Structure 1
Amino acid sequence: MHYRVIPPTPALSNYLECFWTLQSRSTPSLLSPERILPDGCTEIVFNLAASFKRYHCKNTIEVQPQSLFVGQMRRFAMIEPTGEVQLFGIRFRPAGAYVFTHFPLAEMTDKIIDLDLVWNRFSRELAEKIHLAHSTQERIRLAEKALLARLDRRQDGDKTIEGAINTIIARDGLVAIDRLQKKLQLSSRQLERKFQERVGLSPKFFCRILRLQKVFKAAARHRPLPWSFIAAECGYFDQAHFIHDFKAFSGQTPAMYFSEAHEMSEYFTRKNRLSDFYNTTA
């Protein structure tokens, strides 16, 4: 598979992390379900080729719409392409989607839904143009024009939350929330409400996701995988705590997960993570 990341125009860089594309011409016989893990971002995804299937609990299977809004995830999603893969994605910064959705992001947490249910006719018109476009650059131009038209600057400018997010990202989630709220001069309830509204997660859960992503960075540097060392490096109390937390996100132990091939999902974990797009200091 070929994965590509493209930065947005400066006018949208406060809200968008990147545009991305993922392409493959694999035949269905070579494809299998993969686990997509939480990464702390919301996304819009346009599927320009064969449909994807999503596996739910109790062995139910859903054929996904061709245009998706992906809310914050608190647990893995199991998906499988049915043929050629050609995806065009818009990845928002953790609090970036709020100024375009016009509703609290907590309403979309753990949901992967048809974009029409979020933006109605606006999304259908955009999806049609994206599908008819002849190049990635043309799709980016169309998406940027549509997002700038929908941008609600009245919802912009909560520097308190942006500062909190930047601190959490810079420290890979290893942040004491009580100290953070005191630094920001917010009560725990105020910080929780602002995060749920603009990010779609509690600050503590957002930290857990960033710590999970740190595991993939650490695992990429160490072979064989010394789990006790990785647990300590990523701020877990002990190896048992690390395994329990990893399994809560992925449905597998670390050893099980890393023993399998993840040709598609690795692009959303090991590479181009949040801290690569933020110019932050601890």
Structure 2
Amino acid sequence: MDGGERYQEFDPPKALRPWVRKVWTYACPSPSRTIQRIAPDGCPELILDLGDPYEEADADGVFHLQPPALFAGQMTRPIAIRPVGPVELVALRFHPDGARDWLGRSLRTATDQRLNMTDRLRDLSPPAGDPEAQARQMIDWMAGQRRDDWSIDPLVRTEVEAIHADQPSPPRDASARRALQRRFLDRVGIAPRTLRSVIRFRRVFDHAMAEEAEGWLSAGLDAGYFDQPQLAREFRRFLGCTATEWAREQVELARAIASQSYKPGGPEPG
């Protein structure tokens, strides 16, 4: 990073760890106008813009300004964003199944959506230029949001942990599989099989940072992909481009969160 660009992560306090994975901050005073591709990572996020909000491309490729505060649900496809001015963000990353009680509705309603949270975060005003204070205020605010009835569904959490550990799901009959599917869609927003695909893809995604394909191809085979064409299809599905194209083109926020933040990891002990 250069030109004043910075990225930092902070751990949540113990009381929030069952729900919150990380708090991160990012700033880039003089960003380029480059379109940046953000791939799914399996974790919903609450994001507050302290600078100028990004523009995001819709399905037709038309760019629209994002709201200054948003909740990003589970992603099953990439998004394309570009900055319009100085960027400064503070964000809270939930565990895959950690946002349901805070959001107050099924995570399925937020899948592939960026929900406007401007009103809900209107009293949150972290100071510019101070990442530690920004993270602390976000954490304190979320701690104040927490209610006694917040919970973690043990069946869903066990499945999430198995996916992150790359372990097979335990045998279940058809009725049990349907029950898990319903609970997973409610608390995670996508099916277990989809989350497993996202996490498997993220295991090889870091190798796309190198321009040579041999490294990420080898990692893809280790992660369970059958061959290069299958892995290439997954890059198209989750990034909208090839690994080499992504490594060559992506800068700033897209590269920062890919190289440091969006790495698979299961829920930490509470």
Query: Normalising by structure 1, what TM-score?
Result: 0.84
Deviation of 1:183 after TM superposition, in Å, equals: 6.6
**Matching residue of 1:161:** 156
Which residue, out of 10, 13, 26, partners 2:14? 10
Distance in 1 (alpha carbons) for counterparts of 2:139 and 2:163: 28
In structure 2, stretches of 5+ residues that fail to align are: none
Aligned amino acid, residue 11 of structure 2? P
**Matching residue of 1:105:** 107
Deviation of 1:94 after TM superposition, in Å, equals: 0.8
Distance in 1 (alpha carbons) for counterparts of 2:77 and 2:66: 18
Q: Which deviations, in whole Å up to 9, do the C-alpha atoms of 1:33-53 show, x marking residues without a partner?
A: 100110101111111112311
Structure-2 change in CA distance of 1:199 and 1:79 (3 Å) = same
Q: How does 1:237-248 map to 2 (within 5 A)?
A: 237-248=226-237
Deviation of 1:64 after TM superposition, in Å, equals: 1.1
Aligned amino acid, residue 73 of structure 1? M
How many residue pairs match? The answer is: 264
Distance in 2 (alpha carbons) for counterparts of 1:151 and 1:140: 17
**Matching residue of 2:122:** 124
Q: How does 1:206-221 map to 2 (within 5 A)?
A: 206-219=195-208
Distance in 2 (alpha carbons) for counterparts of 1:242 and 1:276: 21
- Aligned-pair identity (%): 25
Q: Which has more helix, going by share of residues?
A: 1
Query: Normalising by structure 2, what TM-score?
Result: 0.87
**Matching residue of 1:250:** 239
**Matching residue of 2:69:** 67
**Matching residue of 2:137:** 142
Structure-2 change in CA distance of 1:133 and 1:11 (3 Å) = farther
Deviation of 1:211 after TM superposition, in Å, equals: 1.0
Kindly indicate whether the alpha-carbon contact (under 8 Å) linking 1:99 and 1:153 is maintained by their aligned counterparts in 2.
no
Q: Which deviations, in whole Å up to 9, do the C-alpha atoms of 1:69-118 show, x marking residues without a partner?
A: 111111111101112111111111111111211111011000012114xx
Moved more, 203-212 or 145-154: 145-154
Query: RMSD of aligned C-alpha atoms?
Result: 2.5
Higher relative contact order, chain-length normalized (CA < 8 Å, sep 6+): 2
Deviation of 1:223 after TM superposition, in Å, equals: 6.8
Distance in 2 (alpha carbons) for counterparts of 1:8 and 1:184: 37
Aligned amino acid, residue 229 of structure 1? S
Deviation of 1:148 after TM superposition, in Å, equals: 2.6
Q: Which deviations, in whole Å up to 9, do the C-alpha atoms of 1:198-225 show, x marking residues without a partner?
A: 11110000011101111123445x7732
Distance in 1 (alpha carbons) for counterparts of 2:208 and 2:245: 14
Q: Secondary structure at the match of 2:224?
A: coil
